């Protein structure tokens, strides 16, 4: 779907940085919403979605077996 999103789960058990997780979440929200830069009216919803997806990504990576 988003070719610029990098795989965050690494075989060497090195956790991704907060910046890497946020960048992946931002790319996902941009792709899904169709906005590269949302309007002021949509900025809060856009930022909230990025935060929620980054949080979900952290939870997913922390709960995967083999970590």
- Say if residue 2's pLDDT is above 90: no
| pLDDT single digits (tens) 21-55 | 999 999 999 999 999 999 999 999 999 999 999 99
Q: What pLDDT is recorded for position 5?
A: 73
Selection from 7, 46, 8 nearest residue 29 by Cα: 46
Identify the residue with better confidence: 33 or 9: 33
Tokens of 40: 């002021």
For residues 66 and 18, the model is more confident at 18
Global pTM value: 0.84
Dist CA 12 CA 30 (whole Å): 29
Say if residues 9 and 41 touch (Cβ distance below 8 Å).
Answer: no
What local confidence, expressed as pLDDT, does residue 64 receive? 86
């Amino acid at each position: 779907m988003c070719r610029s999103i990098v795989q965050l789960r690494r075989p060497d058990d090195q956790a991704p940085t907060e910046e890497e997780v946020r960048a992946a979440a931002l790319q996902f929200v941009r792709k899904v919403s169709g906005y590269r830069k949302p309007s002021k009216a949509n900025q809060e919803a856009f930022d909230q979605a990025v935060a929620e997806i980054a949080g979900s990504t952290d939870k997913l990576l922390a709960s995967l077996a083999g970590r």
